[in-house]
Amino acid sequence: MISRRLAGSFLGLAVCLQAACSPVAELPPNVLMVLVDDLNTDLGSYGHPMVQTPSIDRLAGRGVLFTRAYTQYPQCNQSRSSMLTGLYPDQIKVLTLKDHFRAERPELVTLPQHFRNNGYFTARVGKVFHQGVPTDIGTDGLDDAVSWDLVVNPSGVDREVEDEIITIVPPEKDKRRFGGILSWLSVPDSARKHTDEIGADEAIRLLEENNPHKTGKPFFLALGFYRPHTPYVAPESLFDLYPLEQIQPLVVPPGDRDNKPVAALADRKYQADMSDLQKREAIQGYYASISFVDAQLGRVTAALDELDLTGNTLIVFVSDHGYQLGNHGLWQKQDLFEGSARAPLVIVAPDQLPAGLVSDNLTELLDIYPTLVSLAGLKSPDQRQEGKDLRAVLNGQEAPRKTALSQAWSAAHLTRPERRGMKIMGYSIRTPQFRYTQWARGSEGLELYDYSASPDEFENLATDDAYQDVLVQMQSLMNEKLDKIK
């Protein structure tokens, strides 16, 4: 099933008029924004030895791969709202999965809305603004209607097989809820199309129908994939790419969790009791889902080539946050460690950014907004923007970002049942060498990690006498940043 919504009854007339008066050669670049749900950096282009992602890897070879891109909140709604408005979650008052930025900031112009205001045809396919997974698949969720001329809400076989899905919840307690539970299912390759496969079909159709060679109007197409968000539902052949005997779950070193505040450990029910086989199966499902998304991305980028659009299309490939898969005994998100805060980011800009560049500049996901506006040659919107133009950073016109704030509103009752009802705010600031995190302004704990000495964050150095000067410096950076975003 596909749900579609069209805005603007005079769209066809406007396109015809645009085509009549604007030669294609003079059009600004198109934009393809691909937003993936819960994808970490377990990708070939990021050096992962096992996960097969040839389409993402090829895309990285055509543009800039950012190795230190950080979400502003490691949960879907908060991250996406921040990314698409160019402001921090605190500034738009989006601190839970239910908040909508328009409630507090109705005047804001979103990234796609800005392109729409500048003559672009804008369309959304799948999850771009927040949708609960899997319950909101096929619906608008928390969409922003004024951002789009057209939306498509795909829904496929993954919504039809939920009674078959395997979870880590004991059978007697399984209530068929998958959004926050590790769950997976291998589906025969002959099954009906998956949601993301239908999404890729619809994206290709929109590229064909809105090809500027025909319409004379540039497009901003946002394609949101639902996988690898739980449940990890993918074709059987992709599960077969990752034999269980070749998967080695991470082993938490003795003492790793003992030196960290309880607030920092975003545990979820049943994960601590997973068997070795369950861990392998969960990882297998996650990796199969990544490869499935990769295949759909490849189909869409191939369509760009076939339609002669590649040379004048900006491409952004990004996830809303990272995903742990066992680090510190954590398996998903909503924590402020590197695995959850760090996200994959690739930007392709033909003739504007170098191909095959790997950038270690500290980057925030809200940098995407001003970067795309700059690359498209548009004037910035008349509103506050917190991000940096990454093109200017890469070209040396601005000093590289010295710090990257990764912030999270951590409602402890969401992740630690024994402290239900206690809302604790955590903020984390990342520099090239260190990460400093404070919970409830420090009353619920402090963390300091030196990645040059302990890249896996095993040692919390917040109470180490040798690091007290560093701690004071990081606290100063934190206070400066908090004053700015409040």
**pLDDT of 299-317, one tens digit each?**
999 999 999 999 999 999 9
8 Å CB contact between 400 and 362: yes
Measured in Å, how far apart are the chain's first and last C-alpha atoms? 43
Name residue, tokens 């630690």. 416
Among 466, 424, 421, 475, which Cα is nearest to 447's?
475
Encode pLDDT of 50-103 as tens digits. Answer: 999 999 999 999 999 999 999 999 999 999 999 999 999 999 999 889 999 999
What is the structure's pLDDT at 485?
A: 82
Domains belonging to the chain, first-starting first, are 2-393 (3.40.720.10)
Query: Does the pLDDT of residue 362 top 80, yes or no?
Result: yes
Q: Please count the CA atoms within 13 angstroms of the CA of 80 that sit on its side-chain side.
A: 28
What is the structure's pLDDT at 424?
A: 79
Tokens representing residue 240 in the block: 């077969």
More confident of the two residues 395 and 345? 345
What is the structure's pLDDT at 408?
A: 57
Give me the DSSP letters along 335-357.
S-SHHHHEEEEEEE-TTTS-TTE
8 Å CB contact between 336 and 50: no
The neighbour count for residue 130, using CB atoms within 10 Å, is: 25
Query: Does the pLDDT of residue 440 top 90, yes or no?
Result: no
Instruction: Give the pLDDT band (50/70/90) at residue 400.
Output: low
What is the structure's pLDDT at 436?
A: 94
Q: How far apart are CA 406 and CA 324, in angstroms?
A: 16
Q: Is the dihedral of CA 155, 297, 72, 445 positive or negative?
A: positive
Among 118, 165, 189, 140, which Cα is nearest to 372's?
118
Tokens representing residue 458 in the block: 């095993």
Q: How far apart are CA 220 and CA 204, in angstroms?
A: 13
What is the structure's pLDDT at 25?
A: 54
Query: Does the pLDDT of residue 422 top 70, yes or no?
Result: no
Q: How far apart are CA 52 and CA 42, in angstroms?
A: 9
Sorted by sequence, the CB contacts under 8 Å of residue 355 that are 6+ apart come out as 61, 62, 63, 348
Sorted by sequence, the CB contacts under 8 Å of residue 175 that are 6+ apart come out as 169
- Give, in degrees to the nearest 5, the angle at Cα 258 between 253 and 264: 105
8 Å CB contact between 368 and 318: yes
What is the structure's pLDDT at 160?
A: 95
Q: How far apart are CA 11 and CA 116, in angstroms?
A: 12
* Coil vs helix vs strand at 7: coil
Q: How far apart are CA 71 and CA 344, in angstroms?
A: 10
Q: How far apart are CA 70 and CA 289, in angstroms?
A: 22
Encode pLDDT of 22-48 as tens digits. Answer: 444 578 999 999 999 999 999 999 999
Query: Does the pLDDT of residue 395 top 90, yes or no?
Result: no
Name residue, tokens 């599960």. 239
Encode pLDDT of 120-171 as tens digits. Answer: 999 999 999 999 999 999 999 999 999 999 999 999 999 999 999 999 999 8
Query: Does the pLDDT of residue 17 top 50, yes or no?
Result: no
8 Å CB contact between 119 and 17: no
Determine the average pLDDT of the residues in 195-222: 97
Query: Does the pLDDT of residue 331 top 80, yes or no?
Result: yes
Q: What are phi and psi of 159, to 5 degrees?
A: -85, -10
Query: Does the pLDDT of residue 9 top 50, yes or no?
Result: no
What is the structure's pLDDT at 399?
A: 65
Q: Specify the pairing of strand 423-430 against strand 404-411.
A: antiparallel
Instruction: Give the pLDDT band (50/70/90) at residue 173.
Output: confident
Query: Does the pLDDT of residue 388 top 60, yes or no?
Result: yes
What is the structure's pLDDT at 407?
A: 56
Q: How far apart are CA 469 and CA 436, in angstroms?
A: 13
Encode pLDDT of 448-485 as tens digits. Answer: 999 999 999 999 999 999 999 999 999 998 998 888 88
Instruction: Give the pLDDT band (50/70/90) at residue 409.
Output: low
Determine the average pLDDT of the residues in 330-346: 95
Query: Does the pLDDT of residue 215 top 70, yes or no?
Result: yes
The rounded percent of the chain whose pLDDT value lies above 90 is 80
8 Å CB contact between 391 and 373: no
**pLDDT averaged over every residue in the chain:** 90
